[in-house]
Amino acid sequence: MKMNRLFAGFSMLALSAVMLTGCGGPPPNPVHSVDDLKGKHIGVQLGTTGDTLASDLEDTNVEKYNKAADAVQALKQGKIDAVIVDLETANAFVDKNDDIMVLDEEFADEEYAIAVNLENEELRDELNGALQALTEDGTLPLIKANYEGDEKGQHPYEIKTGISRPKGILTMATNAEFPPYESYDGKLIVGFDVDMMNAVCDYLGYELKIDDMQFNSVLPAVQSGKADVGVAGLSVTPDREKNVLFTDNYAVTHQVIVVRRK
Amino acid sequence: MDFSESFRQNFIQDDRWKYLANGLRTTLIITVFAVIIGLFLGFIVAIIRATYLRTKKMLIPDLFCRLYLTVIRGTPVVVQLLIIYFVIFGSVNISKTVVAIFAFGINSGAYVAEIVRGGIMSIDVGQLEAGRSLGLNYRQTMVHIIMPQAVKNVLPALCNECIVLLKETSVAGYIAIDDLTRGGDIIRGITFAPFLPLIAVALIYLFVVILLTKLVGVLERRLAANDRR
């Protein structure tokens, strides 16, 4: 019957589309330095400093993904030529993917800090005090050592039990797509930022509640009071400082370029 | 910050309104072509399904159609979009807009199919029999008697589906397409002011939907011109 033949044609078409999946690898890596980025497709995570940086470069096509992991996936498949992302996050991705690498060239330093509502100077000062005290007593350096360097994974932070938490709940807005700062491990959100905030809350007597959301929503959540603090590997930038208060920085990092190995 | 200052910061400064304008263009392109694909697929599937139900012919195509309907209606459009982008077209470098058009078109086709099938089934089977006994073959009866009435009946539901599709394209940002919603997100990412970009995006969608509803209203009135009054 005529309709039957037509249908066979359609199924063949669908089948060949599925088979496209298997054939052909990604094109060879065209980016070997910052200068090569001109005219290339660069993947970033929407609203991150990598996004700002890439958008400021001339003659590039910036593709803004919701997740850094999606940008890396697109890079591996050859849909884009490079990804600009924070150094530690880049390393975390490279650890898990043999076919990508980080270029040696680094962009300018940037500092991570905790964001609080513009009007909440009191909380900012409290957090600054806690950060300083925890740095001096060695807690923060130990947490840091748990996530980078030779002693990775040897110093997990244990949340203190049996202490009183008179100040109630402190809500932390984050975007758990950003290893090693925050990511999911099973049902739990783990990472440097989480351990640090647990230490801070133990020190100050808060109970930590983590709210996972799109990266783009973290600062608005802090601005609108839906969250008390934003801790998401947030780099301090002049634009952001107009809208939230930042604590003293707790980490210094840079943006790097991730490319395909071949 | 007062309203005019905030307006300037969100839309005027650095030509930020262009994010919305370009986004709207992308959204409309995706929607229009997805609607075309959706209608095409939907009508084919609906006719196959209705033919099987009425005449018990075309069993195999009908099975495929039912599989298509089950899979597409049973999974969220975001997931379908990501699968088409990252899995089916995984190693092919294809324009993301084309990927989105296919994804939304294929998705919409499933809903259109059931709407149109409902329309076809709503026409009394006696009309089919009458057509056949007047010497028309099955195809002629479908084309000249059943479909014109069915299409007129399902027009409001099809318009509904177009509206849904237009708004569903707002998830295209998942594969880094700068559509209208994403345009607002980008402005929000720069200015960190949630209010104005979101309201602007909402108003633009609303405006497009009102326009679409009006157009379909005109079409319906024209088609109703020969109805009994």
Question: What pLDDT score was predicted for residue A24?
Answer: 62
Question: What pLDDT score was predicted for residue A238?
Answer: 85
Cα separation values, A152 from A89, A146, A192, A196, A232, Å: 15, 5, 12, 16, 20
**If we measure between CA atoms, which residue out of A173, A174, A141 comes closest to residue A155?**
A141
Q: Does B60 touch chain A (CB under 8 A)?
A: yes
Q: Say whether the ipTM exceeds 0.90.
A: no
Distance CA(A72)–CA(A44), nearest Å, equals: 9
% residues pLDDT > 70 (chain A):
91
Q: At what angle do helices B180-191 and A215-223 cross, to 10 degrees?
A: 50
Q: How many CB atoms lie within 10 A of CB A95?
A: 10
Q: Do B192 and A240 make contact, defined as CB atoms within 8 angstroms?
A: yes
Q: How far is A40 from chain B (nearest CA, A)?
A: 14
Residues within 8 A of A (CB atoms), B 18-47 only: none
Q: Does B185 touch chain A (CB under 8 A)?
A: yes
Sheet holding A169-174, edge to edge: A207-212, A169-174, A229-230, A115-117, A244-246
Distance CA(B118)–CA(A262), nearest Å, equals: 54
- Domains for chain A: give ranges and CATH numbers: 26-110 (3.40.190.10), 114-246 (3.40.190.10)
**Cis bond leading into A28, ω under 30°?**
no
Strands A100-112, A251-260: pairing is antiparallel
**Option in A77, A216, A224 nearest B188 (CB):** A216
Q: How far is B136 from chain A (nearest CA, A)?
A: 18
* Chain B CB contacts of A224 below 8 Å: 194
For the cut 80, the answer to whether the pLDDT of residue A20 exceeds it is no
Nearest residue of A to residue B174 by CA position?
A66
* Chain B CB contacts of A4 below 8 Å: 58, 60-61
- Band of pLDDT at residue A21, cut at 50, 70 and 90: low
Q: Does B178 touch chain A (CB under 8 A)?
A: yes
Query: What does the pLDDT look like over A67-107, one tens digit per residue?
Result: 888 899 999 988 899 999 988 889 888 988 889 999 988 78
Cα separation values, A167 from A130, A135, A170, Å: 14, 22, 8
Q: Do A240 and B88 make contact, defined as CB atoms within 8 angstroms?
A: no
Distance CA(B207)–CA(B215), nearest Å, equals: 12
* Chain A CB contacts of B41 below 8 Å: none
Q: At what angle do helices B96-122 and B17-55 cross, to 10 degrees?
A: 40
**If we measure between CA atoms, which residue out of A99, A77, A70, A69 comes closest to residue A26?**
A77
Under-50 pLDDT residues of chain B: none
**If we measure between CA atoms, which residue out of A33, A59, A55, A31 comes closest to residue A45?**
A55
pTM: 0.77
- Band of pLDDT at residue A194, cut at 50, 70 and 90: very high
Is residue A31 within 8 A of residue A40, CB to CB? The reply is yes
Nearest residue of A to residue B57 by CA position?
A1
For the cut 90, the answer to whether the pLDDT of residue A34 exceeds it is no
**Option in B88, B91, B194 nearest A26 (CB):** B91
Q: Do A24 and B186 make contact, defined as CB atoms within 8 angstroms?
A: no
* Chain A CB contacts of B88 below 8 Å: 17-18, 20-21
The three-state DSSP-derived secondary structure of B34-83 is HHHHHHHHHHHHHHHHHHHHHHCCCHHHHHHHHHHHHHHHHCCHHHHHHH
**Option in A11, A20, A223 nearest B92 (CB):** A20
Question: What pLDDT score was predicted for residue B229?
Answer: 57
Is residue B72 within 8 A of residue B114, CB to CB? The reply is no
Question: What pLDDT score was predicted for residue B214?
Answer: 93
What's A59's DSSP letter?
T
Q: How far is B100 from chain A (nearest CA, A)?
A: 15
Assigned CATH for B3-223: 1.10.3720.10
Backbone angles phi, psi at A184, to 5 degrees: -85, 135
Q: Does B168 touch chain A (CB under 8 A)?
A: no
* Chain A CB contacts of B192 below 8 Å: 219-220, 223, 239-240, 242-244
Cβ-Cβ contacts under 8 Å between A and B: the total is 85
* Chain A CB contacts of B139 below 8 Å: none
**If we measure between CA atoms, which residue out of A248, A252, A229 comes closest to residue A129?**
A248
Q: Which helix (H) or strand (E) holds A224?
A: none
- Band of pLDDT at residue A16, cut at 50, 70 and 90: low
Amino acid sitting at position B180? L
Select the residue from B192, B195, B196, B198 to test the A interface by mutation, using most A Cβ atoms within 10 A. Answer: B192
% residues pLDDT > 90 (chain A):
39
Q: Do B48 and A47 make contact, defined as CB atoms within 8 angstroms?
A: no
Q: Does B49 touch chain A (CB under 8 A)?
A: no
Distance CA(B196)–CA(B9), nearest Å, equals: 10
Is residue A209 within 8 A of residue A218, CB to CB? The reply is no
Q: Do A7 and B61 make contact, defined as CB atoms within 8 angstroms?
A: yes
Question: What pLDDT score was predicted for residue A12?
Answer: 59
Q: Do A77 and B87 make contact, defined as CB atoms within 8 angstroms?
A: no
Cα separation values, B28 from B64, B85, B173, B193, Å: 31, 20, 14, 26
**Is residue A117 classed as helix, strand or coil in its secondary structure?**
strand
